[in-house]
Amino acid sequence: MVPSWVILVVSLTYVGTLFGIAWWGDRRAEQGRSLVRNPLVYTLSIAVYCTSWTFYGAVGSAASNGPEFLTIYVGPTLMFLAWWFILRKIVRITRAHRITSIADFIASRYGKSTQLSVLVTLVATAGTMPYIALQLKAVAQSFTILAGPDAAAALNAPLPQVIADTAFWVALAMALFGILFGTRHIDASEHHEGVVTAVAFESVVKLLAFLAVGVFVTFGMYDGFGDLFERARTAGIPAETFTLGMPDGPGRWVSMTLLSMCAILCLPRQFQITFVETVDERHLSTAAWLFPLYLLVISLFVVPIAVSGLMVLPSGVDADSFVLTVPLSQGQEGLALMAFVGGLSAATGMVIVATIALSTMVSNDLVMPALLRIRWLRLTERGDLTGLLLFIRRAAIVAVLFLGYVYYRATGQSGALAAIGLTSFAAAAQFAPAMLGGLFWKGATRSGAVTGLALGFAAWGYTMLLPSMARSGYLSIDVVLHGLGGIGWLRPEALLGMDTLDPLSHALFWSWLLNIGAFVGVSLFGRQSPMERVQATVFVDVFKRSETAAPQVWRRSATVKDLYALIQQFLGRATAHRAFRAYEKEHGVSLPPGREADAELLAMTERLLAGSIGGASARVMVASVAKGEMVSLDEVLKILEETSQVIEYSQRLEQKSTELEQTTAELREANRRLKELDRLKDEFLSTISHELRTPLTSIRSFSEILVDTPNLEAEQASRFLGIIVRESERLTRLIDQLLDLARLQAGHGDWIMEPVDLDKTLEDAAAITAGLFADKQARLILRLPPHPHPVFADRDRLMQVFVNLLSNAVKYVPEDGTGRVMVSALPYGPTWMVTISDNGLGIAREDRERVFDRFVQVPRPDGAPPGGTGLGLPISRQIVEHFGGRIWVEDAPTGGAMVCVTLPVTRHAATPPRSEAL
Ligand code: ADP
């Protein structure tokens, strides 16, 4: 026996040393000379996996089940050897998005769902309780063994019954440690460098202590492994204890290996250490081999200690205490004390990290979101919430340890360490489907994860927790033996009559079956919200995008001031100041308070906040100041892709139907046009024959008179001949113009399109028609700009138009010498406009469009024959439109008609000439 005061002094000294190391670690971190920037420290801190379960329980398990305990090491070893595929991805995501806990991780993956983070936190807390109880039990037990039951009782005697318990004091001390180092400050990245350093140190201590006992047993008590096993054989120790084999078949081995593979990822404390606390992704490559090596070394002497314990100690001694009792039996009290310290460090390491991890979850994912939702607390309006956050965390640590203690008191006397530990593992394993599925399967949905986790957790409670409660006497054992309410197929350890599996495999089978089944099933048939899609892409494609700044599509707005205030509220002024200065420096921008924050600044704010209040709450907070939603580019593309598929389809339909409609309309129009052309043709033929007949008739009748009347007066005869000549001239002109119009309308004819000098052409046209003006004693006034102006046209055709218009104008002006025709050219938008106005009869409003039809001649009021052909204006319009211009009639300011012609300046897609059949 070791005097209890010695144990107390040693323990306190040890814990004091831990405090010192943690303090030193934090200080170094503050000075920027971080101790944890070292793969060795990182690996050793991961060894927090080895708790007092490993330290004491592995030997206990080996003593009864042989090398089965190895599975607990094989799982993590496999997981770390395959680090490239899973661990690396989780580390990358956790660092990029400042994930603070496994609850945060899973909730973030599924659209930053508060519901999910609450659920995960509850499961994690429930699952960790047995594990913490296990540590308390181990420490208390080891103390009692070392000091002797009487001494332990004496130490507790003066205290009231409830707290007269070593485990209580252990719990209290651990709560203190957790508070002191886990919640010294609210750090955005949730790094606890001091704690990590201390935990790494503890991993060294427990390893050395265990090795010391192992070496003493193997080489001090015996002559090495061979000798030890040889003697064991002769002492009649069952060979299964120290030879590899699976007496119960591979089932339990497989489930335990799977379980421990999941545990190394999903236990809240492992998640905290491996993913949250890591400062450098590259450390993982060292841990990948060093951590398995650590596990190998620490398991080296498990079987020798177990076997020696079975040999030297009377049967009935708890195998879970062999690490202490074997040295004690050899009078090695110093060694036993050292082993006690090793066990103490294994237990404290686990408890401290687990409580920090849980308190982070409880405050970030449970309490904070709840408080933020309670409106009348007006938390969002409070200036500084860091104090409140710290208080919540501290309270959470105390609560977690208290619950662990309660669990210990409730079930402490029953069950081996390993069994309690496996209960915890199985709870944590319920996170695996949502976590791993979420890493590799974009289609996994929030509803799937929630349903799977809830069902898995329920199954765990029924098949594992319930029997352990029953065995502790809290429930009737009948439930386990005969099923709930005596219904046989409801037996918790043989659901639906499945009694071929061991209880652990059985529990794992049912919980995973329900969990994975619901997760996959609900995901396959469910839909994702846009936010879920964003997060799915962000997680699954984490390696496809740059470290932090995923391309974001800007859809929210907030001012720099708002965001600053938000960070200040949760992280304090100093942090806010630092973060914004760093951002300004990094991006080379300045951030005046009133400026609109860009997407990246919003993302930074959310990340920073996520570090202290969790992703889900951070999202709520940022959303409270920013309007709108942020969606990654990939996500938008995906959403667009889907929507556009639908749109495209309906568009195609629409297009098809409009196409059809169009074709029908075109057909109808073509038909109408054909009919119209047919009618026009008939009309034209009748008009033309009429038009041609008129001059022909007069030619013929006058010719007949000349022929029939031989002795016609010479004067008479020459008048008739004159008529005949004029009429045949008219006939020729008519036929010429008809042919010309037909050519134009058919689109034939050689057009020499080129820049033509407008002024010159007008002057030429004036010269040609000068005779007509002289005949009528009319005046032609040209108002042309001083400089030459090119228009894009065919020169001869343009001339034809002007000559026609001028001769029309002069035809209708008064004959008494007051006749005036005015020609002017002016720029008119991108074209030139030529107007030819006269002081003649003018054209009535209703005739202004009609005169451009063939053969239309407005009868003169005096009944005089109109002369002309009625084809001049149609031909002119045809030509002008071919140039791309327009021609129309208005009132002239001088009283008569004014014909306006526009002509483009440059090459212009000519409106296609209306081709009408002739
Ligand atoms: P025509 O060569 O017979 O004059 P147009 O096609 O050139 O044929 O003109 C058609 C009709 O438009 C003319 O018969 C005439 O009634 C009317 N018209 C054309 N120009 C003028 C004008 N400047 N003043 C009055 N009426 C005009």
Q: How many other CB atoms are there within 10 angstroms of residue 571's CB atom?
A: 25
Check residue 246 and give its pLDDT.
62
What is the per-residue pLDDT across 242-270, written as a single tens digit (0 to 9) for each?
Answer: 666 666 667 788 888 999 999 999 999 99
Please tell me which residue, 552 or 122, carries the higher pLDDT value.
122
Query: Residue 796 in contact with residue 909, Cβ under 8 Å?
Result: no
Q: How far is the CA of 851 from the centre of ligand 1 (A)?
A: 7
Indicate whether 274 and 329 sit together in one domain.
yes
Domain presence at residue 72: yes
Query: Residue 217 in contact with residue 301, Cβ under 8 Å?
Result: yes
DSSP 825: E
Q: How far is the CA of 722 from the centre of ligand 1 (A)?
A: 24
Indicate whether 190 and 217 sit together in one domain.
yes
**Nearest 5°: phi and psi at 833?**
-115, 130
Q: How far is residue 901's CA from residue 881's CA, in Å, rounded to a whole number?
A: 10
Query: Residue 481 in contact with residue 467, Cβ under 8 Å?
Result: no
DSSP 757: E
Average pLDDT, integer, range 640-663: 73
Nearest-atom index, ligand 1, CA of 860? 16
Query: Residue 207 in contact with residue 177, Cβ under 8 Å?
Result: no
Query: Would the pLDDT of 165 be above 80?
Result: no
Domain presence at residue 586: yes
- Residue nearest ligand 1's atom 9 by CA: 870
Q: How far is residue 330's CA from residue 217's CA, in Å, rounded to a whole number?
A: 10
Q: How far is the CA of 724 from the centre of ligand 1 (A)?
A: 24
Check residue 481 and give its pLDDT.
77
Pocket test of ligand 1: the residue of 694, 804, 808 to mutate, having most ligand atoms within 8 Å of its CB, is 808
Nearest-atom index, ligand 1, CA of 838? 23
Tell me if 868 CB under 6 Å of ligand 1: yes
Q: How far is the CA of 880 from the centre of ligand 1 (A)?
A: 17
556-557 vs 831-838, strand pairing mode: unpaired
Pocket test of ligand 1: the residue of 823, 851, 871 to mutate, having most ligand atoms within 8 Å of its CB, is 851
Comparing CA positions, the residue from 821, 827, 751, 824 lying closest to residue 790 is 827
Check residue 186 and give its pLDDT.
61
820-828 vs 779-783, strand pairing mode: parallel
Indicate whether 644 and 583 sit together in one domain.
no
Q: How far is residue 882's CA from residue 69's CA, in Å, rounded to a whole number?
A: 98
Domain presence at residue 437: no
Element (H, E) at 888: strand 887-891
Give the DSSP letter string of 528-594: --HHHHHHHHHHHTGGGS-SS---EE--EE-BHHHHHHHHHHHH-HHHHHHHHHHHHHHHT----TT
Nearest-atom index, ligand 1, CA of 867? 3
Beta bridge partners of 791: 756
Comparing CA positions, the residue from 471, 522, 470, 459 lying closest to residue 496 is 459
Domain presence at residue 533: no
Average pLDDT, integer, range 17-30: 87
Residues whose CB is less than 8 angstroms from the CB of residue 253 and which lie 6 or more positions away in sequence, other chains included: 68, 71, 246
Pocket test of ligand 1: the residue of 737, 780, 857 to mutate, having most ligand atoms within 8 Å of its CB, is 857
Indicate whether 726 and 828 sit together in one domain.
no
**Amino acid residing at 423:** T
Using CA atoms, how far residue 694 sits from 690, 697, 808, 869, in Å, is: 6, 5, 21, 11
Comparing CA positions, the residue from 107, 118, 86 lying closest to residue 540 is 86
Indicate whether 100 and 56 sit together in one domain.
yes
Tell me if 812 CB under 6 Å of ligand 1: yes
Q: Residue 227 is part of which domain span?
A: 4-418
Nearest-atom index, ligand 1, CA of 859? 16
Instruction: Please report, for the domain that includes residue 367, its CATH number.
Output: 1.20.1730.10
Indicate whether 831 and 705 sit together in one domain.
no
Most confident stretch, 227-231, 313-317, 410-414, 444-448 = 444-448
Q: How far is residue 906's CA from residue 425's CA, in Å, rounded to a whole number?
A: 85
Q: How far is residue 387's CA from residue 390's CA, in Å, rounded to a whole number?
A: 5
Q: How far is the CA of 443 from the centre of ligand 1 (A)?
A: 80
Tell me if 809 CB under 6 Å of ligand 1: yes
Tell me if 807 CB under 6 Å of ligand 1: no
Give the DSSP letter string of 40-59: HHHHHHHGGGS-HIIIIIHH
Q: What angle do CA 684, 688, 693 make, to 5 degrees?
A: 155
Query: Would the pLDDT of 62 be above 80?
Result: yes
- Residue nearest ligand 1's atom 20 by CA: 808
Domain presence at residue 376: yes
Average pLDDT, integer, range 549-566: 64
Confidence of residue 633 (pLDDT cuts 50, 70, 90): low
Instruction: Please report, for the domain that includes residue 643, its CATH number.
Output: 1.10.287.130
- Residue nearest ligand 1's atom 22 by CA: 809
Q: How far is the CA of 899 from the centre of ligand 1 (A)?
A: 11
Nearest-atom index, ligand 1, CA of 869? 3
Q: How far is the CA of 218 from the centre of ligand 1 (A)?
A: 131
Total domain count, the chain: 4
Comparing CA positions, the residue from 116, 117, 278 lying closest to residue 613 is 117
Nearest-atom index, ligand 1, CA of 804? 7
Check residue 637 and give its pLDDT.
55
Indicate whether 673 and 758 sit together in one domain.
no
Domain presence at residue 471: no
Indicate whether 176 and 249 sit together in one domain.
yes
Nearest-atom index, ligand 1, CA of 870? 8
Indicate whether 82 and 185 sit together in one domain.
yes
Residues whose CB is less than 8 angstroms from the CB of residue 780 and which lie 6 or more positions away in sequence, other chains included: 766, 769, 770, 773, 806, 810, 821, 823
What's CA 141's distance to the chain center, in Å? Answer: 52
Confidence of residue 189 (pLDDT cuts 50, 70, 90): low
Q: How far is residue 416's CA from residue 81's CA, in Å, rounded to a whole number?
A: 30
Q: Scanning the structure block, which residue is given the tokens 């670690």?
A: 25
User: Does the predicted TM-score (pTM) go above 0.75?
Assistant: no
Q: How far is the CA of 810 from the centre of ligand 1 (A)?
A: 10
- Residue nearest ligand 1's atom 2 by CA: 868
Q: How many residues does the chain have?
A: 918
Check residue 152 and give its pLDDT.
58
Average pLDDT, integer, range 313-331: 87
Comparing CA positions, the residue from 537, 539, 440 lying closest to residue 93 is 539
Check residue 123 and give its pLDDT.
92
Greatest CA separation found in the chain? 175
**Nearest 5°: phi and psi at 694?**
-55, -60
- Residue nearest ligand 1's atom 7 by CA: 872
Tell me if 894 CB under 6 Å of ligand 1: no
Tell me if 808 CB under 6 Å of ligand 1: yes
Q: How far is residue 511's CA from residue 461's CA, in Å, rounded to a whole number?
A: 9
Lowest-confidence region among 158-172, 209-223, 341-355, 747-761: 158-172
**Nearest 5°: phi and psi at 754?**
-165, 165
Comparing CA positions, the residue from 251, 269, 248, 271 lying closest to residue 259 is 251
Lowest-confidence region among 50-59, 520-529, 656-665, 690-699: 690-699
Last residue of a domain, one of 388, 418, 448: 418
DSSP 314: P
Indicate whether 823 and 725 sit together in one domain.
no
What's CA 313's distance to the chain center, in Å? Answer: 63
Last residue of a domain, one of 742, 775, 809: 742
Q: How far is residue 516's CA from residue 513's CA, in Å, rounded to a whole number?
A: 6
DSSP 32: T
What is the per-residue pLDDT across 349-363, written as a single tens digit (0 to 9) for each?
Answer: 998 899 989 988 888
Using CA atoms, how far residue 354 sits from 187, 277, 672, in Å, is: 18, 13, 88
Tell me if 869 CB under 6 Å of ligand 1: yes
Beta bridge partners of 780: 821
Comparing CA positions, the residue from 541, 118, 73, 133 lying closest to residue 295 is 73
Indicate whether 232 and 130 sit together in one domain.
yes
Q: How far is residue 358's CA from residue 865's CA, in Å, rounded to a whole number?
A: 112
Q: What 3-state DSSP class applies to 31?
A: coil
Element (H, E) at 164: none
What's the token pair of residue 594? 């009133």
Nearest-atom index, ligand 1, CA of 840? 24
Q: How far is the CA of 846 from the centre of ligand 1 (A)?
A: 14
Q: How far is residue 899's CA from residue 912's CA, in Å, rounded to a whole number?
A: 22
Instruction: Please report, for the domain that includes residue 909, its CATH number.
Output: 3.30.565.10
Using CA atoms, how far residue 729 sits from 693, 733, 742, 865, 869, in Å, is: 14, 6, 20, 16, 11
Check residue 557 and give its pLDDT.
64
Terminal CA-CA length for the chain: 130
Q: How far is the CA of 626 from the centre of ligand 1 (A)?
A: 74
Query: Residue 815 in contact with residue 839, Cβ under 8 Å?
Result: no
Residues whose CB is less than 8 angstroms from the CB of residue 94 and which lie 6 or more positions away in sequence, other chains included: 105, 275, 276, 278
Query: Residue 434 in contact with residue 449, Cβ under 8 Å?
Result: yes
Residues whose CB is less than 8 angstroms from the CB of residue 178 and which lie 6 or more positions away in sequence, other chains included: 351, 352, 355, 356, 359, 397, 401
Query: Residue 195 in contact with residue 356, Cβ under 8 Å?
Result: yes
Tell me if 872 CB under 6 Å of ligand 1: yes
- Residue nearest ligand 1's atom 4 by CA: 868
Average pLDDT, integer, range 798-809: 93
Q: How far is residue 543's CA from residue 301's CA, in Å, rounded to a whole number?
A: 41
Q: How far is the CA of 900 from the centre of ligand 1 (A)?
A: 14
Comparing CA positions, the residue from 886, 889, 905 lying closest to residue 838 is 889
Give the DSSP letter string of 114-142: HHHHHHHHHHHHHHHHHHHHHHHHHHHHH
Comparing CA positions, the residue from 472, 492, 470, 473 lying closest to residue 482 is 492
Q: How far is the CA of 811 from the centre of ligand 1 (A)?
A: 8
Last residue of a domain, one of 742, 775, 804: 742
Q: What 3-state DSSP class applies to 782?
A: strand
Indicate whether 824 and 728 sit together in one domain.
no
Q: Where are the alpha helices (DSSP H) in 792-912?
A: 795-812, 872-883
Q: How far is the CA of 918 from the centre of ligand 1 (A)?
A: 22
Domain presence at residue 603: yes
- Residue nearest ligand 1's atom 24 by CA: 842
Domain presence at residue 433: no
Check residue 79 and give its pLDDT.
92
Q: Scanning the structure block, which residue is given the tokens 């196409």?
A: 659
Confidence of residue 131 (pLDDT cuts 50, 70, 90): confident
Share of the chain above pLDDT 90, in %: 27
